[in-house]
Amino acid sequence: MHLEDVTISKAIITRYQEELLEALESDVAVVGGGPAGLVAAYYLARANKKVVLFERKLSIGGGMWGGGMMFNQIVVQDEALPLLKEFGVSYRTFEEGYYTSSSVETVAALTLGAVRAGARIFNLISVEDVMVRDNRITGLVINWTPVDLGRLHVDPLTVQSAYVIDCTGHDAQVASMVVKKMGAVLRTRTGNLEGEKPMWAARGETATVANTREIYPGLLVAGMAANAVCGGHRMGPIFGGMLLSGRRAARLILGEDEE
């Protein structure tokens, strides 16, 4: 077979550029490709929203890959079982109400589900700032992760979106930016970032879903970020709350759920 090396380069650059141009204006921009972000992206894309997801790392999946202490299994409870089924993830019953899945299979299934539903996923891109107009989030400021890692002085680019979902996990990076840069008053108990509470699986799981909300006009929080912002407990390697939270964030944007 005759292959031109430069044609391969042209194909990659052309297609990536097309994808990135398409991502410049979206209905929803998801920050973070952990379980909460992937599930939110899936449900929104499935509802025909134009969804773009930015993940800082090379790999999508966030904290799910490592299961608990690198034992690559996750636990899911009854309430979240329909989501494992929705994504075609195989699971086994451990005890009544406790199901286990391979963390690797789950990340792969969530990722494929989101992509096939129509979400555009960009890895190796870090969200480093937000755009705010008239006290509403209107978009994100993005840069290549290696620019950040290399501490290079390279100016970023911007993307515009009607909604942003902060799915950045424990650090709640987008919410933190809004507070730090805008002195924003969040829709939390104190109006500020409440901070995450210590391990308590039962409470943490319920709180993750309850704390999934629009905390600032145009900005929702989901997954671990919801508890970091609103003051919920951490829960260890049980992931049902992350999946349910991602779905709830999507439903809130779609007007299918009330806060």
Contact positions vs ligand 48H (CB under 6 A): 31-37, 54-57, 62-64, 126-127, 167-170, 173, 199, 223-225, 234-236, 239, 242
Contact 115, 196 (CB under 8 A): no
Nearer to ligand 48H, 10 or 175 (CB): 175
Question: Tokens 């650059």 map to which residue?
Answer: 13
The one-letter code for the residue type at 18 is: E
Q: Who contacts 13 (Cβ-Cβ below 8 Å, separation ≥6)?
A: none
Q: How far apart are CB 183 and ligand 48H at their closest, in Å?
A: 20
What is the three-class DSSP state of 84?
helix
For residues 27 and 144, which CB has a smaller minimum distance to ligand 48H in the complex? 144
Under 8 Å between Cβ of 231 and 188: yes
Residues making up the annotated binding site for Fe cation are: 155, 170
CB of 98 to ligand 48H, least distance (A): 15
Q: Is the CB of 11 or the CB of 20 nearer to ligand 48H? A: 20
Structure tokens at 82: 């329909």
Binding-site residues for NAD(+): 36, 55-56, 63, 127, 153-155, 224
CA torsion, ordered 68, 69, 71, 77, to nearest 10 deg: -10
Judged by beta carbon, residue 36 or residue 186, the one nearer ligand 48H is 36
Helix (H) or strand (E) holding 180: helix 173-182
The pair of three-digit structure tokens given for residue 159, joined into one six-digit string: 């993307």
DSSP 42-81: HHHHHTT--EEEE-SSSSS-GGGTTTBTTB-EEEEEGGGH
Task: Tell me the binding residues for glycine.
Answer: 234
- Of 118 and 236, which has the nearer Cβ to ligand 48H? 236
- In what helix (H) or strand (E) does residue 53 lie, and over which residues does it extend? strand 51-54
Residue numbers belonging to the annotated binding site = 36, 55-56, 63, 127, 153-155, 170, 224, 234
The span from the first CA to the last CA of the chain, in angstroms, equals: 58
Please, what is the minimum distance in Å from the beta carbon of residue 169 to ligand 48H? Answer: 2
In the complex with ligand 48H, the residue whose CB is nearer, 184 or 243, is 243
Record the tokens describing residue 92, joined without a space.
Answer: 């086994």
Whole-number minimum distance, CB 217 to ligand 48H, in Å?
Answer: 20
Q: Tokens 């979206």 identify what position? A: 26
The CB-of-229 to ligand 48H minimum distance in angstroms stands at: 11
Least separation in angstroms between CB 170 and ligand 48H:
6
Kindly tell me the sign of the dihedral angle through the C-alpha atoms of 247, 249, 251, 257.
Answer: positive
